[in-house]
Every structure is written in C-alpha cells, then in structure tokens.
Amino acid sequence: MRSRAYTLTLTLLAALPLPACSDDPRVPPFEASAGRDAARGNASYAGRSDGESGASGEPSAGGEPSAGGEPSAGGEPSTGGEPSTGGEPSTGGAGADSSDAGGPGTIPPSLCARGVSFGVTEPLAMSGDGDDLLAAVTPDELTLAWRADDAFWYADRASLLDDFGPPVRVPAVPGYFAQMTLSPDGLRLIGVRENHLAFGELTRASRADLFASAIDEAEYSAINGALRVLPFAGTLADPVFTADFSMLLYSFVRPSPDGIQIIRQSAGPHFGLGDSISGDALLAQLGLRRIPTGISADALTLFYWDDVDSVGRAAFRATPAAAFDHLEDLGQKRNLQPTLDCARLYYTAAGPSGMDMFVAELNEAP
C-alpha cells in the first residue's frame, strides 16, 4: 500500500504544470508576481461578518515582514480526486458544502464555529519595538515562539493566569531555521532548513528546561528522504501540526519562476510526503500562495494567509479526509493559530510599533 501511494504521489506531482512566485509573509520568495485576482475554485465563500475589533491595526495589502523565510509558488490546477491521508481518493470535490455529515442541508459540527466575530483583542506583552512575528503557540497557550531582530525566540508560562516568562533565544544551528513551529506539548521546536530541503527539531525534557542546540531530523527522515529521490526539485515550507501531533500539514513547493504549491497532510508518528489536500481554493494562483498557519484540534478548520487576496482566512471541511469547501475571511491577520478549544486566535497584525502579536477572543455567530 505504501509503495502504491508513493507511486501515485509522484505521478500526481509530476503531472502538474508550472506557474510564479509569491511575496508571502513567512519566507523570501524566489520571484514575485503582481497578479491578485481571486478565483476560489468551487468552495463556498463568506466574507467577514464581524466588523472587526480595532484593537489591532490592520496591515496593508502589500508585502509585509514575515516570521520566517519560505519559498513562493504559483497556481496549480485541480487534479481531480486527490488521495486522502488513508491513501484513498477523497469522496467529494470542493463544492459539497453541506452534505458530508448529518444529511443534506446540514453543516457538520466542528470545534471552530463558522461565522465568528472578534471580541476582546489584546496585544502580547513581548511585542516591542520593531516587528514581532508569531511563529507558533501551543494549543494550551503555555509556550509561544516568534521571530524578531532576525532571530527566533520562545517563552513559557505555568498557567493561563500567569504572564509569559522572559524571552529565550532559540539556539543557533548551522543550516537552520527558515521557519519554525512548536509541538503541542512545547517540548519540540520543529524547523525548516534554510534551503527548505528538510524538517528537523530541537528538543527539551520539560518546559523548565532550555532547548538543546543539536538538530535532530530522525522524526522526519521519511519526508526528507522522499524529497531527495523525487524526479524533480521540490522544497518544504509552512509546517503545521494538529493538537495531538498525529498530523502534519505543510506546503510542497516547486522552486522555479513558474513554481507550483500543494498543501499536503501526512500522518505520524513518522511523517512522510503524505497526500495533497483537496480544495481548489487552497491552490496557489498566478504566483501567489495560500499559506497554512494553523489547524484546529479536530483537523476540520485550516487557518491560512491568502496571498491572492491579502487576507487571513479559515477553511472548513467535514472530515479530515474531505475537501476544504467553505471559506471565511478573518481580515488582515497573518499567522493565525487557534487554541485547543478554538475560543481564541493568536496572530500577527499591524500594531503601534510595527508588526505585533495579538490574541483575540472569538464570539460565535448569533
């Protein structure tokens, strides 16, 4: 089964045509493109319903500083039924917004509600002068990682009632880090190599400890090794994990002036290339990417920055193997990441001292 799935993966990837590169916010592009039209495939679409809180300044639609460097990419046509994480074709295209669970006309329940509005919004205390760009927050909100002053930092706290402790600089590791995220328990810092050809991690025994300075790529040897034997060049970016560390979502990018991007998901514990997720609205377009930044604990809601429309969005699906078929705008908010219960969102947006980090309470639609 693994051999068959791997062959199918290579066939799908190799068959895709190429188009150009993005100025997205988490890594430097190979080449920028000016197109910003907003074709959304067959997904249903909802604009913002909240009249957003003004507690965070909104960044402009242009290129902004980022929490890491990442390859950019161009558009990719739908390839039809993409394999699911179980190695089987997905059962629905990107247009079945209401029939996956509970019968026709119903919307399947998920941790992250649809149609939310932003309530109380607060800046994070570690946002100082200059740009502070969110890299990751653990689902329990006890460990935070971000980029500032051309370095990555992290901080911990004992409970939600406590302030975060003093920032600690992530150890310098040769060849790392273009991007960074956290494991759900805050004991692993998972990074992307500067050349975007591998994932690796730093570890620690407890949140009271510092991270070791030796990078370990063993957990990601399957995906790193598969990348090396593909019959064409490809790079990795944007790692995002579910709250139980059982699923990895990431971007696979063809680094060329006419590059393509596919968001893929892979099951642990030993993460491989995985399978392309379905949903035309998540494909890159005219050199501009859809950049995954967070996933709900039930894997049914994907948060991402839409470089095509310069807006943060949430995409919803009925099951972890289904297509993302419903989109909602969340405004000029980058690097959106939900808490375990999806009651709050952490993100980066324009603030009083540049790009700052914020946390917002979410109010469900009446």
Is the C-alpha dihedral spanning 319, 183, 222, 303 positive or negative?
A: positive
The CATH number of residue 141's host domain is 2.120.10
pLDDT over 70 (residue 192): yes
For residue 356, being part of any structural domain is answered with yes
Q: What is the 3-state secondary structure (H, E, C) of 211-254?
A: CCCCCECHHHHHHHHHHHHCCCCCEEEEEEECCCCCEEEEEEEC
Q: How confident is the model at residue 130 (pLDDT cuts 50, 70, 90)?
A: confident
More confident residue, 293 or 98: 293
Confidence tier at 248 by pLDDT (50, 70, 90) = very high
Q: Is 138 helix (H, G, I), strand (E, B) or coil?
A: coil
234/26 Cα distance (integer angstroms): 18
Q: Is 130 among the domain residues?
A: yes
Check: CB of residue 64 under 8 Å from CB of residue 27.
no
Can you give the pLDDT at residue 59? 36
Mean pLDDT of the 273-295 span: 87
| In-domain check, residue 96 | no
Q: Are 94 and 78 in contact (CB under 8 A)?
A: yes
Per-residue pLDDT of 34-80, as tens digits, reads 222 323 334 665 654 343 433 444 433 333 444 554 444 433 333 33
Q: What angle do CA 208, 210, 215 make, to 5 degrees?
A: 140
Q: What is the model's pLDDT at position 46?
A: 67
Q: Judge whether residue 257 has pLDDT over 70.
A: no
pLDDT (average), residues 110-121: 90
Residue 91, domain member (yes or no)? no
Q: What percent of the chain has pLDDT over 70?
A: 68
Say yes or no to pLDDT of 349 above 80.
Answer: yes
pLDDT of residue 333: 96
Confidence class of residue 304 from pLDDT cuts 50, 70 and 90? very high
Q: Write down the mean pLDDT value for the chain.
A: 76
What's the pLDDT score for residue 97? Answer: 36
Task: Give the integer Cα–Cα distance in Å for 17 and 13.
Answer: 9
| Number of domains, the chain | 1
Q: How far apart are CA 345 and CA 55, in angstroms?
A: 14
In a domain, 89, yes or no: no
Tell me the C-alpha distance between 154 and 210, whole Å: 10
SS3 8: helix
- Specify the pTM: 0.75
Phi, psi of 217 (to 5 degrees): -105, 5
Strand order in the sheet with 151-156: 133-137, 143-148, 151-156, 168-169
- Asked if residue 112 belongs to a domain, the reply is yes
**pLDDT computed for residue 255 by the predictor:** 61
Residue range(s) defining the domain that contains residue 252: 2-81+101-363
CA distance 250 to 127: 27
Residue 105 neighbours by CB under 8 Å, 6+ apart:
98, 99
